[in-house]
Each structure stands twice: as C-alpha cells, then as structure tokens.
Amino acid sequence: MAGSDYFYHPLENIEDIDIFYDAVERSHLTKALSAERPYTYWTIELYDKRNGIRGGGGLGVLAADTRRIADKMQVPFVLITPFYPSETHQVLKNGTIEDIHENVDYHKYGFSFVDNIFIRCCSTLCKLDVIEKRFGSSRIVAITEPNFGELYSGLSSSDHRLYQEVALGFGGYSALKLLGLKPAIMQLNEVATFFGALARLDELTSNGMDFYEAVVYTRKHTLYTNHTLVQAAEAEFTYEQFERFVFPNLRSAAVQKWLSDKFEHGRIKLSSATIEIAELKSGVSKLHARVANYHDVSGNKVKFKAITNGIDLDTWVSPSLMEFYHDYAILDDINLPTKNYLQKLSALSADSIRQYKAIGRGILNDVLKNRPDQNGDILQFTNDDFIFDFKRRFVDYKRPELPFRDAERLRSILEPRGAHYILAGRLHTGDMSMSVKLKQILDIISSDDYLKNHVHYLADYDENLAFGLSCGSNVAINVPIVGLEACGTSWMKDVANLNLLISTHDGGVADARMSDYFNVNGPDEDSELDMLYQQMQDTIAVWENDFDLEFMVRRQLGAFLPIISGARMMNDYLDYLFPK
C-alpha cells in the first residue's frame, strides 16, 4: 500500500466548496445543515458509557449530552472522538485510590468498522481504524487503534497526547471524507481538537485555494468552545514534537509556515493557533465568557460568546419526574421550558416533591447495590433518611474538604437529623496533593464515631452514581472557589431532580441570582465555610416544612430550568452559528 495514496481521500474539490460556501452564507439553517453537511462536533473526551466510551468528567458528559439533544431535535450531527481501547476504574485500598485498567472492545457497543486511514508520525505511517455508530439524525465517528491508549494518560504535553490529538484531527477529517460528509460547521470542544480545523485549512490550501481565502473560509466555519479560564495553565508542545507529529501531515508549505509563526521560544499553546482559525468563540457560562483570560497573537483580549451548558434532561432526570414535567406542560417535547412553565410549576406540591424523591431514592438504592463505601458497607436508604451529597471530580478548586474543616460542627448539623453525607469523586491519576487530601478526609471521618457511619466515600465516580445521587439525595453541595468553575453540570442534574442546591456563585449557577438557591459567599474561606454550615442547617429545616420546601424547589426550577435545558443550549448554538 503506497502511503500517500491512502493519505487523503480527495473527495472535495474547489467547485464543491464554492457551492457549499454559498449555501451556508445564506444563513438558512435548513439549507445549511443536511445529512451530508452536518454539524460536526470534535471532542477528545466523550462520556457515554452506554456507547462504550468512558470519559473523565464534565467535558465528556457535555459532549454526550449535546449529541443526544441534537438527535432529539433532529439536527444532522456528527460527533468525532477517539475510541479508547482501555479505560481506568478506581478502587479505594487502605485509604488510597488505586487505578485499575480495563480493555474495551468497540464491537460490543454497536460500532461498525468503516475502513483504515493513515497519518504520519515520526517518519512512519500509523494505521487508524475508522468506526461509526449511527443514531437518528446523529452519529459517532471514532478513531482508534489497539495502542491508542487511555483518555488523559501521561502528561498533557507528552508525545502520546500529541499523537492522540493529531490522530483525532487529521484522522477524523479523513474519516469524514471517507464517509462522504462535509462539515457545515466544526465545533471544537476545547483546543485538543485543533488539528481537525488545521486538516481542513491544509486541505483547502493544498487543493489550490489561496491561503488567506482558506483561512477566512475555515474561520467562518469553525467554533472554538473554551472551558478553561486561564491560558497560562494550558500545556505546551515543542517545535521538535511538531516536526515529528504534525508537520509530516501537512501538504501545504503556507500552512506549515503559518503554524510555525505561532511558536514562542520554541513552544506552542494550541489555543493561540485555535483562536486564529476560529472566528466563532464561545465560553460555557455567562461568568466564564466574561472572565476567561485569553489573548490573541497581537495581545488583544479574546471575546467569548456566552453559551451556557445545558444537560439532556431525559438522561439525567428520573423518568417519572420527566413524565410529570411533560404532563403538566412544564417542558415541551424537546425539553424546552414552555412559555408559561413558571405558572405550571405550582402543580409541584410538597407531597409530590416527596413522592418523586421516594422514587428517586429507589433509583439511588439500585445504583448503590454494588458500590460499597470506604468501610466496605453497601448502603441502602429509607425514604425518611436525609442525604447531602458532594459528587464531582476530586480537584482542588472544587474544595471537597471544605465541610470537613470543622468536624464537630459538621457532626452537630448531621446528628440531630440522623443525616448522611455522601462524597463521590474521581481523583486525577497522579494528583498526589488531592490523594493526600482524600486520606485526610477519610481520617477525619473515621476518628469520629458519628461521622464514621454517616459520611460515606464512594470510589470510581461515574455516570450511574451521578444519576443515582441526583435522583435520590435531598441536598447537593457545590462549593468551587468563585471564578474557577467554567460552568459545572452536576448541579443542573440536582436542581432538575428537585434537590436543594447549596452553592457558591460560580460557573453556570451565576447565570441566576444568589437568592434563587442556597448561596454560599463571604470575604474569606472561613466566612464561606460558616455560611455553608448555616445553609446545611437551613436545608434540613426546609425539608421539614411543606411551605418552604415547595417555595424553594419551585424557585430553583423557575430560575434554572431554562438554563439547564439542553435544547436551550442547542438553540443558542444554532442561533450563533446560523444567524437569521
């Protein structure tokens, strides 16, 4: 097999591109998007275990939800992502998290093999499998090979990460052509997907389009969605790494020159090139879009359009509660809040809230059947039990340890009600400081004879646990350091499932007002902690009082349902991409 013949599948030619360009410029959605010209969504992480792909956190959950929502709204949509042949699970052993690796076979998840494509890495040709799975109006196109490795394995500036990103970008672009698909729009879910847009720029240029025209064309059809607040924190690759992994895949000398200019002192941040290749740029909440601190090569601050994340309510809300939302015309058939959803929310009485919680508790108990806590106990809760939960990735800025700073006070809040506190969170492999923090929390818990049996740590946090806890808890705690959460989506699952939300005013929560939920704020961490404890006390009281419970649950839903609705998010994206 001669490499270069298989290297690019030359399906697009310049005349096609012109016709295509016209259609999109007409800004008419029905003409711009079709099965052959889909909305394409590029992501290095997808969290969609039902389809065989396990992610790491919110970025992947968002990608999976976005595809499901597009499908419901019948938007022609193709999600391009790696299929990782191995995934990590975590177990707790003697107070320390250990990683366990499991192989995953795509055949078992309904993917079919399409063909092989090739990319060049380190002077050799790498053979990649293109696989796909089709749904209604959407499909997942995945790139894989037996040694592709795991999601986020190794350092973010390592050769292997760069290989994965290049394989997704160049491989994914070839895969689309193999399938006869022309991206009407390329949404880049974070900069790890930059190489998809680069492959397009390179193809246009090497097919004879003037370089500047090709840049304009690529820019007009590329949306870069940023989830990271600080550009400085982004990983860098070296020129030498690009010589081995990236440049060999480029056919246009002009594109290589353009890319080379983005290096500073021999290093590149992918965001600096992504910003230039994408005219459309979005942040994932109002606050995030405002505070994300990015600059282009000329030093100008980058403006991000705020499109707050939403969730696929059918995935995350207990089915009986979804039935209620539909029966009472609170949500329409694509799960958008109806015009008068606010009035309709008055159908939600304290009795019905307790009833749906009881159903949700059954769902939680089901999930917990094979998830022992740190003592090895299998937890099963009654409808009368009271549950606080903190469930999110175990990273510093989310402050999982905050409620444990004053163990006596925590106990004094929980004990009179016999309340439980469930802590679930995935530790990033190799994060030693968080590993130490977890051990400290577990020590605090085990040295108190009440907390020992009422605070539960559940390892290997995943979608099932997220769903079970959202359905079955009473109160969710979300206390990121203000300014550091881009959006967050776990709290959305909680609000939609009628839990009371205790939160700092950060991420997507700050799209609403502080009075719409149980807000935590203060000039310093001590005052925040004091307020957190007060709010925990208050939420226990609210669950005891029918009037207060109705009032607060309706208030939360009233404020947040339009924000939470994934259909709202998709409409916002479509309006931004195809202005009327």
Ligand X SMILES: *Cc1c(COP(=O)(O)O)cnc(C)c1O
- Considering the complex, state which of residue 51 and residue 218 has its C-beta at the smaller distance from ligand X: 51
Helix (H, G, I), strand (E, B) or coil at 310: coil
What residues have CB less than 8 Å from 547, skipping those under 6 apart? Answer: 350
Q: Which residue is nearest to ligand X (CB)?
A: 58
- Considering the complex, state which of residue 199 and residue 459 has its C-beta at the smaller distance from ligand X: 459
Residue 134 CA to residue 575 CA, distance in Å, equals 26
86 phi and psi angles, rounded to 5 deg: -145, 145
Tokens standing for residue 128: 């990649």
- Considering the complex, state which of residue 466 and residue 529 has its C-beta at the smaller distance from ligand X: 466
- Considering the complex, state which of residue 135 and residue 397 has its C-beta at the smaller distance from ligand X: 397
Among 57, 196, 468, 562, binds ligand X (CB under 6 A): 57
Instruction: Report the candidate in 420, 414, 349, 416 with the shortest Cα–Cα distance to residue 382.
Output: 420
Q: Which of residues 461-480 bind ligand X (CB under 6 A)?
A: 461-463, 466
Per DSSP, the residues of 49-115 read GGGTB--SSHHHHHHHHHHHHHHHTT--EEEEEE--SEEEEEEEETTEEEEEEEE--GGGGT-EEEE
550 is a site residue for ligand X (CB under 6 A):
no
Here the contacts of 257-264 (C-beta below 8 Å, separation 24 or greater) are 258/211, 258/215, 259/198, 261/297, 262/297, 263/239
Instruction: Report the candidate in 374, 472, 390 with the shortest Cα–Cα distance to residue 424.
Output: 390
Number of residues that bind ligand X (CB under 6 A): 13
- Considering the complex, state which of residue 262 and residue 398 has its C-beta at the smaller distance from ligand X: 398
Distance of closest approach, residue 467 Cβ to ligand X, in angstroms: 7
- Considering the complex, state which of residue 464 and residue 571 has its C-beta at the smaller distance from ligand X: 464
489 is a site residue for ligand X (CB under 6 A):
yes
- Considering the complex, state which of residue 58 and residue 171 has its C-beta at the smaller distance from ligand X: 58
58 is a site residue for ligand X (CB under 6 A):
yes
Per DSSP, the residues of 482-539 read TT--S--SHHHHHHHTT-EEEEES-GGGGGS-GGGTEEE--SSHHHHHHHHHHHHHHH
Pairing status of strand 138-144 against strand 124-134: antiparallel
From the list 81-89, 139-147, 482-490, 539-547, the region that binds ligand X by CB under 6 A is: 482-490
Distance of closest approach, residue 5 Cβ to ligand X, in angstroms: 43
What residues have CB less than 8 Å from 44, skipping those under 6 apart? Answer: 81, 82, 151, 164, 165, 168, 189, 190, 192, 193
Distance of closest approach, residue 146 Cβ to ligand X, in angstroms: 26
Per the CB < 8 A criterion, the answer to whether 284 and 486 are in contact is: yes
Distance of closest approach, residue 226 Cβ to ligand X, in angstroms: 15
CA torsion sign for 231, 235, 240, 241 is: negative
Among 488, 552, 569, 570, binds ligand X (CB under 6 A): 488
Distance of closest approach, residue 311 Cβ to ligand X, in angstroms: 7
Q: Which of residues 491-530 bind ligand X (CB under 6 A)?
A: 493
Q: Which of residues 362-401 bind ligand X (CB under 6 A)?
A: 392-393
Distance of closest approach, residue 148 Cβ to ligand X, in angstroms: 22
- Considering the complex, state which of residue 335 and residue 490 has its C-beta at the smaller distance from ligand X: 490
Distance of closest approach, residue 122 Cβ to ligand X, in angstroms: 34
Which one-letter DSSP state was computed for residue 372?
-
From the list 212-220, 230-238, 250-258, 487-495, the region that binds ligand X by CB under 6 A is: 487-495
What residues have CB less than 8 Å from 318, skipping those under 6 apart? Answer: 356, 359, 360, 363, 471, 497
Among 17, 33, 61, 128, binds ligand X (CB under 6 A): 61
Half-sphere exposure in the Cβ direction for 520 (13 Å, CA): 30
Distance of closest approach, residue 221 Cβ to ligand X, in angstroms: 28
From the list 13-21, 96-104, 430-438, 486-494, the region that binds ligand X by CB under 6 A is: 486-494
Distance of closest approach, residue 478 Cβ to ligand X, in angstroms: 7
Exposure b/e, 52-77, CB count within 10 A at least 16 = b: bbbbbbbbbbbbbbbbbbbbbbebbb
- Considering the complex, state which of residue 20 and residue 394 has its C-beta at the smaller distance from ligand X: 394
143 is a site residue for ligand X (CB under 6 A):
no
228 is a site residue for ligand X (CB under 6 A):
no
From the list 54-62, 217-225, 285-293, 325-333, the region that binds ligand X by CB under 6 A is: 54-62
Q: Residues interacting with ligand X, by CB under 6 A?
A: 57-58, 61, 392-393, 461-463, 466, 488-490, 493
